[in-house]
Chain A
Amino acid sequence: MRHFLDFEKPIADLEGKIEELRHLTGSDELNIDEEVEKLQIKMERQLRATYQKLTAWQKVQVARHPDRPHANAVIDHLIDDFNPLAGDRGFAEDLAMVGGIGRFRGRSVVVIGTEKGATTADRVKRNFGMARPEGYRKARRLMEMADRFKLPILTFVDTAGAYPGVDAEARGQAEAIAKAIETCLNVRVPLIASIIGEGGSGGAVAIAAGNRVLMFEHAVYSVISPEGCASILWRSAEFAKDAAEALKITAQDLQKLGVIDRIVPEPVGGAHRDRTTALDALGDAISEELGALASTEGGQLRAERRDKFLEMGAA
């Protein structure tokens, strides 16, 4: 059973009708086929129309869709010979932060991503994609390894944010994030970050300060969740919709602001309706960006990345 979002109700209704008709068997089968086809066209038109003008708040829901391809799905699709690597070498393995080495279109790369989990059990195990300090320290360790072996780094961001818990604070969540950002900025290899779903605040930028930042068409990236912003500035989380608009969190807005470099198109109805097409497009985009950086020397990659972030918001 497909999971429909609130604003997809007309689409869900049409799809329900089509299903019903398909199960009908009778003498006038021809008419049914015709009817199904008509409804199908209508539904697709509706889907296209809806997804063409998603509001910021609707995009938040799409970005958080449970069927959306998460980091592990992206890795499965894009990375061959993937070897997951575990641990921060200090305290623990954090399953909210996945990482390892593998081949992307033939070339060795280091991959890092925040993983929300695919099933309920998996989600719990992965703390719903909210990493703790050891997750950021693991990311840092892998980035340093990539630097040592001159391997490009691909990161896939999909998190509501870093975990806000007593244990995380006790072990230095802020320091772990700060050091992860520092390492992103210091490596002498290409770092390509892709915001694939939710880019939640410091927990996202910790692995996203890259030479190139790509973003799926319906992904969101924000300094604070719309709910959090609404409860502070509007004094009620009910204004999340307004906050989502005001914060300018969509890929389209962020490209205008110069914060992201490239939007990766999603198939009609979002990445969760056709993972293969979505992930192929992501792979092509990463491949192009990586190709463009291939001949740049390490020190130059680092200098360009640093200069780019030093200019963010400059007068």
Chain B
Amino acid sequence: MNWLTNAVLPKIQALVGREMPDNLWHKCPACGQMIFHADLATNHRVCSECDHHMRLPPMERLKLLFDGGLVEPIELGKPAIDPLKFRDRKRYSDRLREAQSKTGRNDAIVVAHGTIEGNAAVVAAFDFDFMGGSMGSSVGEGLVRAAKLAETQDAALIIVPSSGGARMQEGILSLMQMPRTVAAVERFKETGRPFVVLLTDPTTGGVTASFAMLGDLHISEPGAIIGFAGQRVIQETIREQLPEGFQKAEYLLEHGMVDAVVHRHKLKQTLGGLLGLLMDPEPKADVVKLDPASETPASKPVEANASAPMSSADRVEQNEASKKSKA
């Protein structure tokens, strides 16, 4: 076997010219279905069997949302620091380095700009693989920058949390990211542009109890855990069985905390539609008020607008057309 893995495999790989992926099959954590990795990728990590939404890494998330899958991340500058010289069983600085080499990024956030169904948007997406997406000073910095960028670009601000909460290795400074990010989104909201929170699994603790509950709109993915206190802490406090579906997106919808639970495959379209309604409220330039007497069958633009579910491609075209006509 050693001979196989040590001698034959590298030769095959050299021949094929790339690394052979270790896991060609992925098991759905909800239903146990084995899914071929390529199928999972094209399905944006939604189980084809049970529709379970698995966590989506930030770059894939951004590609999913931006038009043409075009992602332009901004440089977030210096990596996270260790203000407290924190050490538990491990040094925080070591944990940071590990997370950095595992994910290839400085901290648990990616900020990018582009358009969503033709609407200018800045998206800040958390990376759960980076220390549980926890929010420390540099994640806070990323969010402040994202809000500022959206302001200067006259774009919508969309934050996509996937986070266990505050990063306790940064002590009180992580707690201070709560008022800090609240201040950042408040300043942004004063510009009159929309701030949308796209709640993904999980959104808990200090992240939920700050900017994530202050969106003009709260959209959630199905099944995402969203809450303040962790389930284990609650269970230890009340010593009772937690209700069925507790802290899931659907539970929050029922309790009035989110506007809508939207399937990942419809996310871009829904988000784009909402942004269009908020950012482009005027009637389209091609909507011409017709004199009823002279109504002719050549009123095609009006029909296109009135026909309810429009394909996203149509909508982009139309938005672009209307922007051109404005300019």
Binding site for B on A (CB under 8 A): 162-166, 168-175, 177-179, 181-182, 184-186, 201-202, 205-206, 209, 221-224, 228-229, 232-235, 239, 242-243, 246-249, 254, 257, 259, 306, 309-315
Q: Is there contact, CB below 8 Å, between A173 and B179?
A: no
Q: What separation, in Å, do the CA atoms of A247 and B175 have in the docked complex?
A: 11
Q: Is B311 an interface residue (CB 8 A)?
A: no
Q: What separation, in Å, do the CA atoms of A131 and B243 have in the docked complex?
A: 21
Which of these, A172, A173, A235, A254, contacts B172 with CB under 8 Å? A254
Which residues of chain A have C-beta atoms less than 8 A from B209's C-beta? 162, 173-175, 177-178, 181, 202, 206
Smallest distance from the beta carbon of B48 to chain A beta carbons, Å? 32
Q: Is there contact, CB below 8 Å, between A246 and B84?
A: yes
Q: What separation, in Å, do the CA atoms of A14 and B128 have in the docked complex?
A: 55
Q: Is there contact, CB below 8 Å, between A223 and B174?
A: yes
**Chain B, 188-217, contact with A by CB distance < 8 Å: what is the 0/1 string?**
000000000000000001101111111000
Which residue of chain B has the shortest Cβ distance to A186 in the bound complex? B186
Smallest distance from the beta carbon of A250 to chain B beta carbons, Å? 10
Q: Is there contact, CB below 8 Å, between B175 and A172?
A: no
Which residues of chain A have C-beta atoms less than 8 A from B308's C-beta? none
Q: Is there contact, CB below 8 Å, between B89 and A315?
A: no
Which residues of chain A have C-beta atoms less than 8 A from B208's C-beta? 174, 178
Q: Is there contact, CB below 8 Å, between A315 and B78?
A: yes
Stretch at the interface among B28-36, B116-124, B228-236: B228-236
- Given known A164-B228, A182-B186, A246-B87, contact A222–B172 (CB-CB < 8 A): yes
Q: What separation, in Å, do the CA atoms of A61 and B229 have in the docked complex?
A: 24
A-B CB pair tally, cutoff 8 Å? 186
- The 8 A-B pairs with the shortest beta carbon distances in the complex, nearest first, are A313-B137, A164-B229, A174-B208, A312-B176, A233-B88, A178-B213, A223-B175, A174-B228
Q: Is there contact, CB below 8 Å, between A175 and B213?
A: yes
Q: Is there contact, CB below 8 Å, between B243 and A259?
A: no
Chain B interface main SS type = helix
Which residues of chain B have C-beta atoms less than 8 A from A221's C-beta? 172
Q: Is B170 an interface residue (CB 8 A)?
A: yes
Which of these, A178, A247, A257, contacts B182 with CB under 8 Å? A178
- Given known A178-B209, A181-B210, A223-B206, contact A246–B88 (CB-CB < 8 A): yes
Which of these, A202, A243, A309, contacts B205 with CB under 8 Å? A202
Smallest distance from the beta carbon of B87 to chain A beta carbons, Å? 6
Q: Is B257 an interface residue (CB 8 A)?
A: yes
Q: Is there contact, CB below 8 Å, between A172 and B140?
A: no
Q: Is there contact, CB below 8 Å, between B178 and A224?
A: no
Q: What separation, in Å, do the CA atoms of A254 and B183 have in the docked complex?
A: 21
Q: Is there contact, CB below 8 Å, between A205 and B175?
A: yes
Q: Is there contact, CB below 8 Å, between B183 and A257?
A: no
Which of these, A165, A247, A309, contacts B171 with CB under 8 Å? A247
Smallest distance from the beta carbon of A179 to chain B beta carbons, Å? 7
- Given known A166-B246, A168-B228, A182-B214, contact A309–B141 (CB-CB < 8 A): no
Q: Is there contact, CB below 8 Å, between B212 and A315?
A: no
Smallest distance from the beta carbon of B138 to chain A beta carbons, Å? 7
**Chain B, 149-188, contact with A by CB distance < 8 Å: what is the 0/1 string?**
0000000000000000010111111111111101110110
Q: Is there contact, CB below 8 Å, between A249 and B171?
A: yes
Q: What separation, in Å, do the CA atoms of A224 and B247 have in the docked complex?
A: 21
Q: 25 A-B pairs, CB-CB below 8 angstroms?
A: A162-B209, A164-B234, A165-B234, A172-B256, A174-B212, A175-B257, A177-B228, A178-B210, A178-B211, A205-B178, A223-B168, A229-B168, A233-B169, A234-B88, A234-B89, A246-B87, A247-B171, A257-B172, A306-B187, A310-B183, A310-B187, A313-B83, A313-B141, A315-B138, A315-B141
Which of these, A165, A181, A222, contacts B238 with CB under 8 Å? A165
Which residues of chain B have C-beta atoms less than 8 A from A232's C-beta? 168
Which residues of chain B have C-beta atoms less than 8 A from A172's C-beta? 213, 255-257
Q: What separation, in Å, do the CA atoms of A221 and B171 have in the docked complex?
A: 9
Which residue of chain A has the shortest Cβ distance to B230 in the bound complex? A164
Smallest distance from the beta carbon of B323 to chain A beta carbons, Å? 33
Within 8 A of A (CB), among B218-265: 226-230, 233-234, 237-238, 240, 242-243, 246-247, 251, 255-257
Q: Is there contact, CB below 8 Å, between A242 and B238?
A: no
Q: What separation, in Å, do the CA atoms of A178 and B173 have in the docked complex?
A: 17
Which of these, B178, B214, B233, B257, contacts A164 with CB under 8 Å? B233
Which residue of chain A has the shortest Cβ distance to B255 in the bound complex? A170
Which residue of chain B has the shortest Cβ distance to A210 in the bound complex? B179
Q: Is B133 an interface residue (CB 8 A)?
A: no
Which residues of chain B have C-beta atoms less than 8 A from A174's C-beta? 208-209, 212-213, 226-228, 257
Q: Is there contact, CB below 8 Å, between B136 and A169?
A: no
Q: Is there contact, CB below 8 Å, between B171 and A312?
A: no
